[in-house]
Amino acid sequence: MANALQFCATVQAASPVFSKRMHCQSSWHRPSPPLNYNYKFVATSLVLSKRSRRSLKVSCEAANVDLLETNKIDKEAEKKITCVMKFGGSSMASAERMREVAELILSFPNERPVIVLSAMGKTTNNLLLAGEKAVCCGVTNVDSIEELGFIKELHKRTVKELEVDESLIAKTSHAAPFAEHLEELEQLLKGIAMMKELTPRTKDYLVSFGECMSTRIFAAYMIKIGAKARQYDAFEIGFITTDDFTNADILEATYPAVAKSLLGDWISDPAIPIVTGYLGKGWRSCAITTLGRGGSDLTATTIGKALGLSEIQVWKDVDGVLTCDPNIYPHAEPVPYLTFDEAAELAYFGAQVLHPQSMRPAREGDIPVRVKNSYNPNAPGTLITRSRDMSKAVLTSIVLKRNVTMLDIVSTRMLGQFGFLAKVFSTFEDLGISVDVVATSEELDHVVEELEKIAVVNLLQRRSIISLIGNVQRSSLILEKAFHVLRTLGVNVQMISQGASKVNISLIVNDDEAEQCVKSLHKAFFETDISELEWECVSGNGSAST
Ligand SMILES: Nc1ncnc2c1ncn2[C@@H]1O[C@H](COP(=O)(O)OP(=O)(O)O)[C@@H](O)[C@H]1O
Ligand SMILES: N[C@@H](CC(=O)OP(=O)(O)O)C(=O)O
């Protein structure tokens, strides 16, 4: 189909109205079948003849729509990118794992994916530890920091075992070669040692080495085994964020910018994009930022929305989202289906498996997210979509968040009720503390000091939040059963709340009782027949299976 006269245009869709207009224009121009022609998404690509391209330019100007670019296309570009596949640290922990992941990617001949990678294994933790040690170890001792040794050894060994050499790594991108990264990392640690200071901004620069190195090595390996691959640093291709170092938010401008970078290259020379997860660029500072721990999931869903892909896959080391944390209770089972709301709530309340913000772009783009196991690709995993059949659903998953501080605030009646609550929340806002993720007791001292002007405040530490994610249409059944289990254990619930999204009931208990509660709740809800559950509750003669 492609010939010298054909071009591809990438335009930025502003609204459904535009899409409609676009539709008219496309029939008017009579283009060949669209590359990525989807009404809902930001970037729309069309294959056009040279004459149509000129007319499209005029029409776009008239419709006040950005024509991002028109490129000559080749045959390969007619096959659009289909999905994004994200592989986390656990999937990329060694040369052996990288080989398996490469094989896995190539085992889907009908997919043309964008790959998002995290740092290898525990590299991010090791980089942070190395940074903390550098603060107090003195410049001359930096090269003997144990974690720096681990990082160097892991990456050099991986390069050697995969048999990718420097020249191959250099071919993967225009950026600095791999050896220079290790060199620069050591220099940075020496700088930290000299300054005796590790700011959040420096922390983000420091941890970025993990993803920058893993993607370069992996892209080089893909090229070595004959695949076409191209490495990208997210902060160079339009991941624009707030300047909240260590926990930055993706800004809206990211979507068209990322679409433009990735589609532009794909159209002119298709190659599997291998993108660094977790990283961005602060819009004011222009410095490297990170999206919060586990942020590569968010990178993947952002790319999914930016390109209007049909699926987002996040590959983990477990068979999908499970009924509870397998580290607490090994009999946790995979949950086959979840809604975006359920998954977001689960992540927000502490399930390590997904980044708390990662569902937002997927929900906005209405793109299904599949959570799969890179160690067991045949397992069906979890499919996360906008809605699902809830007719049989009671409880979906149990999440535990430990070491939470509970503030018990009683008004001294100096303010009316509305004024009192407003003052309480503005105190948290002024001090930049998010309720539910209060970090240190030092921060809390200020909160207590402020609140004591209007209330009696009790600080209750070492508490846990147990979140019951499920069908809150059946909240009476869930609560009845849960309280029955907890009463049998002799546990006193200290607070209860139902989330605004109506998929979550949260209970606060003491830290030292929490794990046992989760185990017993799991047995009662997931290892008991549901009809039995309802019968027990109706007849009132059931007993908790603990
Ligand atoms: N409800 C849950 N479902 C699945 N995994 C969970 C859950 N809660 C905690 N986890 C933990 O999350 C891990 C997977 O997430 P993560 O380590 O972030 O993967 P990756 O680094 O590959 O992205 C699992 O190994 C598991 O120990
Ligand atoms: N490497 C970063 C980002 C990330 O998403 O990692 P993982 O996918 O391994 O959770 C971290 O450890 O936080």
pLDDT number for residue 127: 98
What mean pLDDT is predicted for residues 343-366? 94
For the domain that residue 14 is a member of, what is the CATH number?
A: 3.30.70
CB 222 within 8 A of CB 164: no
> Are residue 48 and residue 122 in the same domain, yes or no?
no
- Closest C-alpha residue for ligand 2 atom 2: 294
Name the residue with higher pLDDT: 374 or 12.
374
In a domain, 304, yes or no: yes
| Rounded Cα gap, residues 401 and 135, in angstroms | 31
- Same structural domain, 144 and 11: no
Enter the tokens of residue 272.
Answer: 């599997």
Ligand nearest to the CA of 317: 1
pLDDT at 274: 97
Which residue segment(s) compose the domain that 58 sits in? Answer: 6-78
Give the Å distance between the CA of 326 and the centre of ligand 1.
8
β-strand 369-373 against 337-339: which pairing, if any?
unpaired
Name the residue at shortest CA distance from atom 12 of ligand 1. Answer: 353
Same domain assignment for residues 64 and 154: no
- Cα–Cα distances (Å) from 346 to 354, 356, 495, in that order, read 8, 8, 19
- Identify which ligand lies nearest to the alpha carbon of 401: 1
32 in any annotated domain = yes
- Regarding whether 248 and 204 lie in a shared domain, the answer is yes
Which of 245-259, 336-350, 517-531 is predicted with the least confidence, judged by mean pLDDT? Answer: 517-531
d(CA 54, CA 22): 15
Q: What would the pLDDT profile of 91-142 be if each residue is shown by its tens digit?
A: 999 999 999 999 999 999 889 999 999 999 999 999 999 999 999 999 999 9
Per-residue pLDDT, 109: 86
| Other CB atoms within 10 A of residue 197 CB | 11
Contact of 505 with 475, CB cutoff 8 Å: yes
User: Do 251 and 181 share a structural domain?
Assistant: yes
Two structure tokens written together for 211: 């993803």
pLDDT for the residue 26: 35
pLDDT 10s digits, 68-79: 554 544 445 556
- Distance (Å, whole) CA 448 – CA 209: 39
Rounded Cα distance between 216 and 231, Å, is 6
* Residues 108 and 51 occupy one common structural domain: no
Given a cut of 70, whether residue 517 has pLDDT beyond it is yes
Ligand 2 pocket residue status of 296, Cβ below 6 Å: yes
In a domain, 264, yes or no: yes
Instruction: Name the amino acid, one letter, at 306.
Output: A
Residues 199 and 177 in one domain: yes
361: in domain? no
Give the mean pLDDT of 494-516.
86
29 and 43 part of one domain:
yes
Q: What is the mean pLDDT of residues 525-537?
A: 67
Contacts with 454 (C-beta within 8 Å, 6 or more apart), sequence order: 411, 412, 414, 415, 420, 423, 424
Query: Which of 316, 335, 370 marks a domain boundary?
Result: 316
Shared-domain flag, residues 94 and 13: no
pLDDT at 203: 98
Task: Tell me: pLDDT of 417 over 80.
Answer: no
Alpha-carbon gap, residue 409 to 451, rounded angstroms: 8
Query: What pLDDT was estimated at residue 296?
Result: 98
Q: Burial of 307 by CB count in 10 Å (0-12 exposed, 13-18 middle, 19+ buried)?
A: buried
- Looking at the chain, the number of H-run helices and the number of E-run strands are 17, 18
Report yes or no: 347 and 358 within 8 Å, Cβ to Cβ: yes
Question: What CATH number is associated with residue 298?
Answer: 3.40.1160.10
Pairing of the two strands 229-232 and 272-276? parallel
pLDDT tier for residue 45 given thresholds of 50, 70 and 90 = very low
d(CA 326, CA 331): 7
Span from the CA of 230 to the centroid of ligand 1 (angstroms): 28
Boundary (domain end) residue, out of 316, 334, 349? 316
Confidence check: pLDDT of 440 > 70 = no
Q: Which of 256, 281, 316 is where one domain is finished?
A: 316
Q: What is the pLDDT of residues 262-278, one digit of tens each?
A: 999 999 999 999 999 99
User: In this predicted structure, what is the pLDDT of residue 6?
Assistant: 36
Share of the chain above pLDDT 70, in %: 77
Any domain includes 524: no
Ligand nearest to the CA of 211: 2
C-alpha to C-alpha distance for 325 and 323, rounded to whole angstroms = 7
Ligand 2 centroid – CA 244 distance (Å) = 18
Give the ligand at the shortest distance from the Cα of 323.
1
Q: Which residues line ligand 1 (CB under 6 A)?
A: 88-91, 118, 294, 316-318, 321-322, 324-327, 351-353, 397
Q: Does residue 73 form part of some domain?
A: yes
CB atoms within 10 A of CB 177: 14
State yes or no: pLDDT of 503 exceeds 90. Answer: no
Q: Are residue 271 and residue 289 in the same domain, yes or no?
A: yes
Both 214 and 293 in one domain: the answer is: yes
What is the per-residue pLDDT for 89? Answer: 96
Q: What is the arithmetic mean of pLDDT over 174-183?
A: 73
Q: Is 31 in the pocket of ligand 2 (CB under 6 A)?
A: no
Is there a domain that residue 180 lies in?
yes
What is the rounded average pLDDT of the residues 233-239?
97
Task: Confirm whether 331 is domain-assigned.
Answer: no
Question: What is the pLDDT, as a whole number, of residue 172?
Answer: 66
Do residues 118 and 142 share a domain? yes
Instruction: Round the average pLDDT of the chain to a whole number and report it.
Output: 83
Distance 143 CA to ligand 1 centre (A): 33
Give the count of domains, the chain. Answer: 2
- Please work out whether the CB of residue 190 comes within 6 Å of at least one atom of ligand 2: no
Q: Is pLDDT of 356 > 50?
A: yes
Residue 240 is predicted with a pLDDT of: 98
Ligand 2 contact via 294 beta carbon (within 6 Å)? yes
